[in-house]
């Protein structure tokens, strides 16, 4: 069998979809602002999304993206709505219906239900102005008519892509308005590779109750006993106000011991490293690792924004590496 070259087909498909996205970009207008504002102002409801066929699959992705950035959202199957699932849609909800033609028969019952409940805001993502969905919607996002990739202009390709893109744009615009950052994102992604990347110093640190603290004037012999008991390899030195003023490692004590010095005559304040490096508890673990690597140290003190002088935890390099953070 003679080998065929499908690369030109792939490039043609991508080129057709790029043109569709450019057409979508040119079509964005005040209607987009109106929909974003509606989502932002939806305080007591949810963003419910529905569609049928490929539009339904795209709707599931849009709903999932909205939920991942902190916007309460779920997807309902358009066909199932005619068999009881309309009960999932409540007053004060935003209902986004997706249909490229705007005439999908499965959407008619949902449109009628939303029309009867005036507290439901119906948003239509549709490509035809004369369609039932467009005419029935409180807010409209008009998707431009695009040429589908492939022969016959029949397979939903470009149309699916522009619909997905407008959904992503809605999510990111809302996310930007709400100043939704990495720590907010982390709340909804505690697991998986994203969860690992978003772990903070607080997630991995040894907490205060397990940290050995000593005062400035404690002799090193006593300090060594406390260090051995804690099994941490370090001691945090604090002043009378319990502010962190220094750190002593087992290596520091070993160096003093090698000189055969009388431990009773040496105090914490004599050998401690002053002003140890400290990071905020919300600092990403990956950034903390970079600091340790740069400073050639194996642990960091952790503080809260309220008081940078008080240590609330110790972050060890092994805790970061054991979490597969690089």
User: How many other CB atoms are there within 10 angstroms of residue 255's CB atom?
Assistant: 12
In eight-state DSSP terms, residue 200 is B
Sorted by sequence, the CB contacts under 8 Å of residue 190 that are 6+ apart come out as none
Q: H-type helices in 178-299, by residue range?
A: 182-187, 192-197, 201-204, 220-230, 250-257, 268-271, 285-295
- Whole-number Cα distances in Å, 190 to 197, 248, 269, 289, 305: 10, 34, 41, 20, 23
One digit per residue, the tens of pLDDT, for the chain of length 326 reads 678 889 999 999 999 999 999 999 999 999 999 999 999 999 889 999 999 999 999 999 999 999 988 899 999 998 888 888 898 999 999 999 999 889 988 899 999 999 998 899 999 999 999 999 999 999 999 999 999 998 888 889 999 999 999 999 999 999 999 888 776 676 666 666 667 778 889 989 988 888 899 999 998 888 888 888 888 888 999 999 999 999 998 888 888 777 766 667 788 888 899 999 999 998 988 899 999 999 998 899 999 988 999 999 999 988 888 877 76
User: How many other CB atoms are there within 10 angstroms of residue 152's CB atom?
Assistant: 6
Domain spanning 7-180: CATH 3.90.700.10: no
Report the C-alpha gap between 302 and 314 in whole angstroms: 6
Q: What pLDDT is recorded for position 227?
A: 86
Q: What pLDDT is recorded for position 259?
A: 73
User: How many other CB atoms are there within 10 angstroms of residue 269's CB atom?
Assistant: 16
Domain with CATH 3.10.580.10 in the chain: 201-321
Closest alpha carbon to 163 in 67, 62, 78? 62
Report the C-alpha gap between 300 and 91 in whole angstroms: 51
Cα atoms found within 13 Å of the Cα of residue 208, Cβ hemisphere only: 10
With vertex at residue 305, the alpha carbon angle to CA 300 and CA 306, rounded to the nearest 5 degrees, is 120
Query: What's the predicted TM-score (pTM) here?
Result: 0.71
CATH code, 201-321: 3.10.580.10
Report the C-alpha gap between 203 and 201 in whole angstroms: 5
């Amino acid at each position: 069998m003679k080998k065929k070259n499908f690369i030109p087909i792939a490039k043609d498909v991508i080129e057709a979809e790029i043109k569709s996205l450019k057409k979508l970009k040119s079509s964005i207008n005040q209607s987009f602002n109106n929909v974003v504002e509606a989502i932002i102002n939806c305080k007591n409801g949810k963003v419910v999304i529905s569609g049928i066929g490929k539009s339904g699959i795209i709707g599931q992705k849009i709903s999932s993206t909205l939920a991942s950035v902190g916007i309460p959202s779920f997807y309902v199957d358009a066909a199932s709505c005619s068999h009881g699932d309309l009960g999932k849609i409540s007053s004060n909800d935003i209902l986004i219906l997706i249909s490229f033609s705007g005439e999908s028969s499965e959407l008619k019952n949902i449109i009628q239900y939303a029309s009867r409940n005036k507290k439901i805001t119906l948003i239509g993502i549709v490509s035809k102005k004369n369609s039932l969905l467009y005419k029935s919607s409180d807010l409209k996002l008009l998707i431009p008519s695009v040429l589908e990739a492939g022969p016959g202009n029949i397979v939903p390709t470009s149309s699916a892509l522009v619909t997905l893109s407008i959904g992503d744009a809605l999510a990111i615009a809302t996310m930007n308005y709400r100043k939704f950052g990495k720590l907010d994102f982390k709340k909804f992604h505690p697991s998986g590779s994203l969860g690992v990347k978003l772990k903070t110093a607080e997630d991995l640190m040894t907490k205060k109750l397990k940290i050995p603290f000593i005062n400035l004037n404690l002799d090193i012999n006593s300090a060594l006993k406390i260090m051995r008991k804690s099994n941490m390899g370090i001691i945090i030195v604090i002043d009378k106000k319990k502010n962190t003023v220094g750190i002593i490692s087992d290596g520091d004590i070993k160096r003093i011991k090698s000189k055969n010095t009388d431990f009773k005559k040496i105090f914490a304040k004599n050998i401690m490293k002053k002003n140890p490096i400290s990071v905020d508890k919300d600092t990403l673990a990956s950034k903390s690792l970079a600091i340790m690597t740069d400073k050639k140290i194996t642990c960091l003190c952790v503080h809260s924004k309220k008081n940078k002088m008080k240590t609330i935890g110790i972050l060890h390099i092994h805790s970061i590496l054991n979490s597969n953070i690089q």
